[in-house]
Amino acid sequence: MNIERILSEMTLEEKASLCSGGDFWRTKALERFDIEPIMLSDGPHGMRKTNRNHCPTQMDEATAKAVCFPAACATASSFDKNLIEKMGKALGDGCQAEDIAVLLGPGINIKRTPLCGRNFEYFSEDPHLAANQAIGFIKGVQSKGVGTSVKHFACNNQETRRMAVSANVDERTLFEIYLTAFEEVVKNAKPWTIMASYNRLNGTYTTQSKFLLKDVLRDKWGYEGLVVSDWGAVDEREKCAVATLDLQMPSCFGKTDAILVQKVKSGELDEKYVDDCARRVLELYEKYKSNHIGGDYDRSEHHRLAREIASQCAVLLKNEDKLLPLDGKGRVAFVGAFAKTPRFQGGGSSHIDCTEVTSALDAVSEYAEVAFAPGFEAESEAPDETLISEAVELSRNSDVVVIFAGLPESFEFEGGDRKHMDMPACQNELIERIAEVNPNVAVVLHNGSPIMMPWRDKVKAILEMYLGGQAVGGAACDLLFGKENPSGKLAETFPLRHCDTPAYLNEFGVGDNVEYGEGVFVGYRWYDKRQMDVMYPFGFGLSYTQFEYSDISLSADEINDTDTLTVSLTVRNTGDCFGREAVQLYVSDPECSVSRPVKELFGYEKVALKPGESKKVFFKLGKRAFSYYNIDIHDWYVEDGRFDILIGSSSRDIRLTASVYVNSTTKIPVKFNINNIIGDVFSFDEGKKMLLDFILTTLEREGRISSKDLEGEIDPRLLCLFNDLSLRTTMDFIISDGITRETLTECLDRISDAANGLK
């Protein structure tokens, strides 16, 4: 396909029209050039193919059945890039079979607050983890010749007023926390498309932000793919074109296409912007055509894979007296509505019409005979005494009770945020009442984000399954009965109270503005810096076996920031069953001129180990691992100094440490001016000497001081006072004809040159 030739033959009207949807899910056909519509479909953890046109009063239901894999909240907890790549490959096969050109996902927004209603679709509070899980996902899907759409670019961290709100974020926080995952994904996985979000960023809709889409995404990061709007996220189409948003979805029924044409004709918009957008739509079309092979896929095999993946994502939060795994003997009771009808996916555009669902009650016959009592109704909040009493009676007469609880779907869905972190009262009461009559209680949780667990000390085991996909019941049984060993780690902190959370004071904002006042201190970065206790820390998760860490070694004691540091260590399975451990690497910068997190995740590896087996684990660290985003140079910057490398089993269980000295190879240019404080100049020894020389020799020359006045030390109190004075103000305090704005500026220029090494 000769894209340039087609472009040159297309009319302006055709080009403008190609850059908006043909219907709700497809691009436009251009019969004159044999171009057919191609389909974009949700996503992310399964295909939500729908052929219907959107109905304004109903959620659009999927028309093709598909396999629902675990949602991102779960797959992030696997801390396993290879596992999610495997899932991506399966999704890619499914998309080929359904003629889907682009799967709308993954969602990689950072979990700024646990209340965001769409957190279940996002990976983590940590950008490095989100990036790497997303890279695995994208590589998997795209290896099958199907595109992905990384969403929602950017700072769509809440559902409240998502189409109007402006996320107001300072530059450092933006790059260190909210853009990092997008940057890493763009550079390492080359997604076919990126989806610009609904919200505004610092006042401008992201769909029409030249800063975000052109200056950062394309020019700074080198992105060459297509940018599509979130569904209905376009305001002023001509501004979107200039910002390089290529495709407006869904169909605008020609309305904004006409605006583009009119703006070009009136000379307000250069046609080259429309050409560029149309070119990228044609390139996407060509990618689809040259990769589309169709075919079919084995739905039962994908269901089996969904079970395997879910079992490697679950996080064992508590296991007192080794209650788990169960041996299947004695009287086992399953309690809770979610044992029969599991909660395994969230509401909204990611909602899959599943090929089949395996509940824990379906799967448990593979391991044991159990008695069942529902205890509550899935969507209810108020306790139902009849259901509770029945479950309590069953529990009283059982040896062990497994309660399947969590959040109803109505608590977590696209378009709304949670109001609190509580589970429904009926579930909390059920657990408390059962714990009163039976000492052996395990709780299996189905939820997309952290919850409060007032009964936490009264039960022996807690297994967090998250929203584990359509085979979650099977995976839960595999874990409960020890066929699989839990190996997930929390990709987000479970706080003790909602009011402890980083964004609490500015959670969803006021009106159409939300201030990201917590800055870079999101997730564990916040709890660590404030030295707060949490319920379960980031990176935490137990196993049925134990692991021992040893032999940390660094490839060098001192490096330049352009070098790569290799870190190695050994992990050994010291228990008596097979297990997987997610080894985590954090970097800490103990001394820095800007306030930095206590530690930040920069590497993780999942290692599978037989009992007694040990393996060496390697990490490679480049400049980014030691940098912070410097707003003077608008770039990443390493401040010279010692950095600690921390190897942990969780963010609060550091097992090994080592240090490296890193030298910066970037010099930040200094430019002193008369509005700097004296302390700025004094912090640089030669600058201090030059400035004092200038002032004192001028005063001496003018006969205002004598050489005698210059003998001895300057009073330290005076020096301290001087330190915070602006240079401009000193002129008001010193009587001198020779110290003027001009001569002081000349002196400061000389000092700046000296600081920059030019003299």
* Contact footprint for ligand BGC (CB under 6 A): 42-43, 104, 151, 230-231, 349
Q: Copy the structure tokens of residue 85.
A: 């790549």
Question: What angle is formed at CA 229 by the lines to CA 227 and CA 230, rounded to 5 degrees?
Answer: 130
CB atoms inside a 10 Å sphere around CB 420: 10
In the bound state with ligand BGC, the residue whose beta carbon lies nearer, of 159 and 589, is: 159
Would you please indicate which residues are annotated as catalytic (active-site) residues? 230
CB 480 within 8 A of CB 500: no
Name the nearest CA neighbour of 242 among 214, 216, 222, 261: 214
Contact of 153 with 201, CB cutoff 8 Å:
no
Shortest spacing between CB 52 and ligand BGC, in angstroms: 12
What is the CB neighbour count within 10 angstroms for residue 607?
Answer: 19
CB 724 within 8 A of CB 684: no
Three-state DSSP class for residue 455: coil
Compare residues 72 and 476 and give the one whose CB is closer to ligand BGC.
72
Query: Considering only CA atoms, which of 414, 38, 9 is closest in space to residue 193?
Result: 38
Least separation, in Å, of the C-beta of 249 and ligand BGC?
A: 7
Q: Quick one: which of 576, 618, 612 has its CA closest to 485?
A: 576
Q: Minimum Å distance from CB 215 to ligand BGC?
A: 24
Nearest distance from C-beta of residue 194 to ligand BGC, angstroms: 12
Minimum Å distance from CB 36 to ligand BGC? 21
Q: Which residues contact 687 (CB under 8 A, 6 or more apart)?
A: 672, 681, 751, 754, 755
Distance CA 186, CA 190 (A): 5
- Taking the least distance from each CB to ligand BGC, the nearer of 124 and 752 is 124
Report, in Å, the least distance between residue 89 CB and ligand BGC: 21
SS3 of the chain: helix, strand, coil, percent, to 5: 35, 20, 45
Amino acid, single-letter form, for residue 490: L
Asked if 349 and 462 count as a contact pair (C-beta separation under 8 A), the reply is no
The first and second tokens of residue 238, run together, are: 């001509």
Minimum distance, C-beta of residue 301 to ligand BGC, in the bound complex (Å):
26
Q: Which residues touch 476 (CB under 8 Å, ≥6 apart)?
A: 310, 314, 342, 360, 363, 404, 444, 463, 465, 468
CA distance linking residue 649 with residue 656, whole number of Å = 10
CA distance 306 to 469: 7
Number of H helices, E strands in the chain: 23, 25
Q: Decide whether 104 or 110 has the Cβ nearer to ligand BGC.
A: 104
Neighbours of 566 (CB within 10 A): 13
Q: Which is nearer to ligand BGC, 43 or 342 (CB)?
A: 43
The Cα 754–Cα 759 span in angstroms is 5
- Phi and psi dihedrals of 484, rounded to 5? -115, 155
Q: How far is the CB of 353 from ligand BGC (least distance, A)?
A: 14
Return the number of the residue (144 or 151) whose C-beta is nearest ligand BGC: 151
Sign of CA dihedral 590, 591, 592, 596: positive
CA dist 328 and 733 (Å) reads: 86
Residue whose C-beta lies closest to ligand BGC:
349
Please identify, using beta-carbon distances, which residue of 42 and 412 lies nearer to ligand BGC: 42
Residue (235 or 384) nearer to ligand BGC, CB: 235
Of the two residues 139 and 151, which places its CB atom closer to ligand BGC in the complex? 151
The DSSP element (H or E) to which 82 belongs, if any, is helix 81-97
231 close to 163: Cβ distance less than 8 angstroms: no
Taking the C-alpha atoms of residue 687 and residue 680, their distance in angstroms, rounded to an integer, is 9
3-state class (DSSP) for residue 462: strand
Closer residue to ligand BGC, CB minimum distance, 88 or 336: 88
Cα–Cα distance for residue pair 756/748, rounded to 1 Å: 12
Kindly tell me which of 77 and 349 has the beta carbon lying closer to ligand BGC.
349
Minimum Å distance from CB 149 to ligand BGC? 7
Q: How far is the CB of 42 from ligand BGC (least distance, A)?
A: 5
Q: Is the dihedral of CA 10, 16, 22, 25 positive or negative?
A: positive
Give the single-character DSSP code of 413.
Answer: B
Which bin fits 6, alpha (ψ -120 to 50), beta or left (φ > 0)? alpha
Q: Which is nearer to ligand BGC, 151 or 343 (CB)?
A: 151
Q: How far is the CB of 244 from ligand BGC (least distance, A)?
A: 20
Query: What b/e readout covers 222-233, taking b as 16+ CB neighbours within 10 angstroms?
Result: ebebbbbbbbeb
Question: What are the φ and ψ backbone dihedral angles of 66, each rounded to 5 degrees?
Answer: -150, 165
Within 10 angstroms of residue 550's Cβ, the number of other Cβ atoms is 11
Closest approach of Cβ 230 to ligand BGC, in Å? 5
- 318-342 burial, b at 16+ Cβ within 10 Å, e below that, comes to bbeeebbbbeeeeebbbbbbbbbbb
Tally of residues, the chain: 759
**CA 412 distance to own-chain centroid:** 18
Least separation, in Å, of the C-beta of 120 and ligand BGC? 12
- Whichever of 231 and 413 has its CB closer to ligand BGC, that residue is 231
